[in-house]
């Protein structure tokens, strides 16, 4: 890989477009956008509008220092078909108009899938950041998105070695694949000096010792019966330790109907901004989650994490020793063990390679090289 300095800033290699739509996209993109800016690459962000609440979107642009999008497609919410159809129509128009040299997509959300489909049909080259993660569970919408996105992308940026073997098993051309580490961890490292639990604890009135929970996966929150089992388990955890739940809008009503209501030991709050959330996580004795990104962030922050899912596409977080998969039935006992220090307390595994805060520059170097070798 040649350095970014190979391409002088004044040399216009064409427009690089980043398509972002949902909360985790913003966190993964920020280091790549920053590194490409440092390399003098002309770039722009298209916000699809998949996430639109201030606390699901704007606050991330501010916390992460992301530049204003050149367009917001305002697609909003809907069934998978409706949302994806709106994404396809909106993205086709904007990509045809801007004719970028390369479109960069992130993670596994519907905006990622739609951008890749549109570009494949318009013959616009694409790069996928976070390629090759697999839960092998196609009941997850994200898994379907991952498989399609990786099959159609021209550059595949993998965050962990297991992703390389998944891509190889699916026949990806090795020349397209780069192990670059995890840009989500770049964002975490960049925010570290600002991650102080005290201000957000003071604002929320959170006691000194507490746990944090986030829950939003369809498999957990969409079905009333499953939601009830999960809520019962979460309430049991709150009897062990005061629990703060920054609640994603998905499933808010369902979880409330299932009994997730505030009490002396259970604080249910709006989704938190990136710095506030990670500050709270940094000071927590335990995290309960079904998020993908939070499993990785707790790995780096050495915070015990219980993931309420039957599988994870991020097994390095388990082999590292900070994360464990649980069911609603096993969650309370697992929480008690973690809180007593007899589990998840002393991670013994290696940290994943290249989770060193330099993934953005690595990705930018590959892109700059690709741009100079593929002049239009």
Q: Which does 130 bind (CB under 5 to 8 A by kind): ligand UD1, ligand UDP, none?
A: none
Dihedral of the CA atoms 358, 363, 366, 370 (nearest 10)? -160
Q: Does 132 bind ligand UDP (CB under 6 A)?
A: no
Site string for ligand UDP, 41-80 (x = CB under 6 A): ----------------------------------------
- Long-range CB contacts (< 8 A, 24+ apart) of 252-259? 254/221, 254/222, 254/224, 254/227, 255/215, 255/221, 255/227, 255/230, 255/231, 257/224, 257/227, 258/224, 258/227, 258/228, 258/230, 258/231, 259/228, 259/231, 259/232, 259/235
| Residue of 7, 16, 19, 24 that binds ligand UDP (CB under 6 A) | 24
Q: Which does 52 bind (CB under 5 to 8 A by kind): ligand UD1, ligand UDP, none?
A: ligand UD1
| Residue of 23, 47, 254, 309 that binds ligand UD1 (CB under 6 A) | 23
For residue 151, how many other CB atoms are within 10 A of its CB?
14
Q: From the CB of 268, what's the least distance to ligand UD1, in Å?
A: 15
Alpha helical stretches, state H, 105-196:
110-122, 141-152, 161-169, 183-191
Q: Does 294 bind ligand UDP (CB under 6 A)?
A: yes
| Residue of 24, 181, 273, 283 that binds ligand UD1 (CB under 6 A) | 24
Tell me the window of 105-113, 151-159, 166-174, 367-375 that interacts with ligand UD1 (CB under 6 A).
105-113
| Residue of 200, 215, 278, 316 that binds ligand UDP (CB under 6 A) | 278
Cβ(254)–Cβ(222) below 8 Å:
yes
DSSP state of 281: H
For helices 331-340 and 224-240, the axis angle rounded to 10 degrees is 20
The one catalytic residue in 18, 47, 51, 216 is: 216
Look at residues 298, 307, 149, 297 and name the one whose alpha carbon lies nearest to residue 219: 307
Look at residues 96, 98, 127 and name the one whose alpha carbon lies nearest to residue 28: 127
Q: Is residue 216 annotated as a catalytic residue, yes or no?
A: yes
User: Which sign does the torsion angle of CA 124, 125, 129, 130 carry?
Assistant: positive
Q: From the CB of 133, what's the least distance to ligand UDP, in Å?
A: 11
For helices 110-122 and 80-98, the axis angle rounded to 10 degrees is 40
| Residue of 132, 277, 305, 324 that binds ligand UDP (CB under 6 A) | 277
321-350 residues near ligand UD1, rule: CB under 6 A: none
Q: Does 21 bind ligand UDP (CB under 6 A)?
A: no
Q: From the CB of 311, what's the least distance to ligand UD1, in Å?
A: 15
Q: From the CB of 173, what's the least distance to ligand UD1, in Å?
A: 27
254-273 residues near ligand UDP, rule: CB under 6 A: 271-272
CA-based R_g, the chain, Å:
20
Q: Which does 110 bind (CB under 5 to 8 A by kind): ligand UDP, ligand UD1, none?
A: ligand UD1
Are β-strands 305-308 and 266-269 bridged in parallel, bridged antiparallel, or unpaired?
Answer: unpaired
Site string for ligand UD1, 27-56 (x = CB under 6 A): -----------------------xxxx--x
| Positions that interact with ligand UD1 (CB under 6 A) | 22-24, 50-53, 56, 77, 83, 108-110, 141-142, 216, 248-250
| Positions that interact with ligand UDP (CB under 6 A) | 23-24, 27, 214, 246, 248, 271-272, 274, 277-278, 291-294, 297
Which residues are known to be catalytic? 216
């Amino acid at each position: 890989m040649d350095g970014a300095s190979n391409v002088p800033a004044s040399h216009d290699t064409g427009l690089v477009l980043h398509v972002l739509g949902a909360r985790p996209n913003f966190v993964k993109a920020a280091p790549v956008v920053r590194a490409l800016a440092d390399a003098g690459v002309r770039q722009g962000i298209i916000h699809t509008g998949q996430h639109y609440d201030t606390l699901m979107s704007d606050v991330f642009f501010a916390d992460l220092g992301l530049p204003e999008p050149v367009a917001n497609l305002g697609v909003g919410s809907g069934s998978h078909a409706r949302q994806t159809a709106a994404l396809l129509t909106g993205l086709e128009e904007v990509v045809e108009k801007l004719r970028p040299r390369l479109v960069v997509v992130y993670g596994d959300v519907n905006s990622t899938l739609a951008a890749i489909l549109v570009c494949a049909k318009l013959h616009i080259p694409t790069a996928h950041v976070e390629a090759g993660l697999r839960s092998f569970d196609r009941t997850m919408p994200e898994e379907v998105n991952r498989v399609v996105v990786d099959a159609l992308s021209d550059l595949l940026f993998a965050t962990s070695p297991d992703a390389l073997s998944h891509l190889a098993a699916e026949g990806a051309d090795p020349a397209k694949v780069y192990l670059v580490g995890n840009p989500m961890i770049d964002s975490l490292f960049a925010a570290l000096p600002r991650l102080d639990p005290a201000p957000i604890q003071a604002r929320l009135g959170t006691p000194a010792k507490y746990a944090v929970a986030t829950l939003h996966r369809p498999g957990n929150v969409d079905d009333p019966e499953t939601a009830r089992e999960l809520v019962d388990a979460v309430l049991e955890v709150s009897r062990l330790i005061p629990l703060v739940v920054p609640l994603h809008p998905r499933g808010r009503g369902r979880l409330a109907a299932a009994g997730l209501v505030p009490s002396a030991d259970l604080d249910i709050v709006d989704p938190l901004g990136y710095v506030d959330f990670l500050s709270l996580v940094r000071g927590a004795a335990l995290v309960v989650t079904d998020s993908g990104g939070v499993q990785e962030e707790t790995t780096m922050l050495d915070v015990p994490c219980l993931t309420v899912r039957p599988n994870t596409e991020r097994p390095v977080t388990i082999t590292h020793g900070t994360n464990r998969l649980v069911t609603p039935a096993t969650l309370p006992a697992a929480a008690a063990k973690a809180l007593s220090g007899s589990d998840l307390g002393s991670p013994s595994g290696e940290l994943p390679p290249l989770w060193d805060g330099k993934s953005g520059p690595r990705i930018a170097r590959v892109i700059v090289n690709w741009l100079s070798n593929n002049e239009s």
